[in-house]
Amino acid sequence: MDRRVMTRPVMLVTGGSRGIGAATCRLAAAAGYDVAVNYASNRDAADTVVSACREAGASAVAVQTLVESETDVIAMFDEVVGALGPIACLVNNAGIVRDQVRFDEMSVERWREMFEVNVIGSFICAREAVQRMSTRHGGAGGSIVNVSSAASYLGSPGEYIDYAASKAAIDTMTMGLGKEVAEEGIRVNAVRPGVVYTDIHGSGGEPGRVDRVAGGVPMRRGGQPEEVAQAILWLASDAASYITATTVNVSGGR
């Protein structure tokens, strides 16, 4: 067996083919992790991230999975463990946003999709990570870092209240799960990005949104994906060994 597989910790990043997820994968590889890049549909983008991770000296694989599918997620965890070894860190990053509209114009179908991906998907992944990491289940411990959003406390009126509410659910899960498994070798934390230059804003119908709202950020600029990824890597690392059930804002002071 390749000795690196035995000694390098493994990080699984959902939604790892773009934006904050892709930046996290690249930084993780440089920091000494082997990396599993989860993606929903864009194989080329995932392969690009995998190649960058390998160039940094990591073993890396791309795994296509819809996180809202319990069957798919279980298969993903098994595939990653088989390819790279036990997972030391899960980054729950996969998420969606839809067109900016008023709450009273949103459909039930939209709400169901939003919560299935952003909430249930993150819940399933966290559950599977706990079942494998927890010392209660014979695991060696580990770390879960959830990607929330400043929207969870700003509310996103007139844009996407449903997205904000889904991220508020992630905040609560982070706090509760972090306390629940604190004695089982698992730390659970989250980051709340503010307005960050990623293509998710295009999914909301306004690709240039960051530039429009940056003036309302105390630092007067949008963030870069790498700035959020640095916080994720810190929370995942031993440098944050006494931190759990905590959410860190990476929002320029907003």
Annotated catalytic, 163? yes
Within a 10 A sphere around the Cβ of 142, how many other Cβ atoms?
A: 26
Give me 220's structure tokens: 């007067």
- Which entry of 33, 39, 160, 163 is annotated as an active-site residue? 163
Give me 46's structure tokens: 């995932």
Q: Are strands 87-92 and 186-193 parallel, antiparallel or unpaired?
A: unpaired
CB 247 within 8 A of CB 171: yes
Q: Is the dihedral angle over the CA atoms 237, 240, 246, 249 positive or is it negative?
A: negative
Instruction: Please tell me the distance from the alpha carbon of residue 190 to that of residue 145, in angstroms, as a whole number.
Output: 5
Q: Is the dihedral angle over the CA atoms 184, 188, 27, 234 positive or is it negative?
A: negative
Instruction: Please tell me the distance from the alpha carbon of residue 77 to that of residue 31, in angstroms, as a whole number.
Output: 22
CB 16 within 8 A of CB 25: yes
Residue appearing with tokens 């000694």: 7
Active site residues: 163
